[in-house]
Amino acid sequence: MTVDTKPEALLSHLQNADGSATFSYAGYTVVGAVNGPIEVQRKDEIPEEAAVDVIVRPAAGVGGTRERHLESLIQSTLRQIILVENFPRTLIQIILQVTTAPENEYVNAKVVQASSNLAILPALLQTAVLSLLSAALPLTATLTSTSLAIVSDGQSTKTVLNPSPREIEVSQSFHVFAFTSHDELILVESEGGFTTKEWDDVFAVAQRQCCSSVAADGDTFMDGDSVAGTDLRQFTRSTLEEKIVSDLHWK
């Protein structure tokens, strides 16, 4: 299946949210909204820092265990980059609504298979970070995320960047990585069977796409559509630059 591998983003388009973003990439479109710091219920209050609440809503049907798992991963990742200690006894709420998913991702509001649960995680993380930046919440760093699959034909294996649901279904293993803007690995989730060398190889591909300092040597890797992987960090930076220029433009 061919999907659009060129990322697109729209910032601050929801008027009733402190920050918002719509992010489209690799067949997924996610709308994010951030509110906070806001008042938190007493039972959820943390005396020395802000509570972070992440809500993931699927493209079809209602959320289930899949969404709860994704929420847990996103919350633990974002807490590492949000300066939560700056806002004690408050709440930062992040809502992520999936509006478009690749073909075969949902069937009758149910995910096709458990191994594809993580496929949408990079899009959710990117949307969350863009929404936080739109809300002007202080962060220690931004982050970029990507997914890879190791596909085997019985004689050889290849690494596929941003695989389609069909490629994930037939893959030997599937991996999601996230790196901060300081080139630090902040999240890794892997499913399937793989050797230490195979993991090192996919880590190098993910690092090359997400970390500008690693990609500076000019080498490129190929994704499922045989085009060079997108520089996600530069995309985030250029998206924010365009928004700032637009906001400061005097008409």
Q: What is the DSSP secondary-structure string of 143-182?
A: EEEEEEEEEE-SS-EEEEES--HHHHHT-SEEEEEEEETT
- Residue identified by tokens 């061919």 is 2
**Backbone φ and ψ of 208, nearest 5°:** -65, -35
Q: What Å distances lie between residue 83 and 48, 52, 93, 114, 221, CA to CA?
A: 11, 11, 14, 33, 34
The pair of structure tokens assigned to 31 is 């709308």
Residue pair 215/208 in contact (Cβ under 8 Å)? The answer is yes
State the pTM of this model: 0.89
| Structure confidence by residue, pLDDT tens digits, 21-46 | 999 998 899 999 999 999 999 999 99
Predicted confidence at residue 110, as pLDDT, reads 47
| Structure confidence by residue, pLDDT tens digits, 132-149 | 999 999 999 999 999 999
Q: Specify which residues 201 forms β-bridges with.
A: none
Predicted confidence at residue 229, as pLDDT, reads 65
- Nearest CA to 163 out of 131, 202, 111, 204 is that of 202
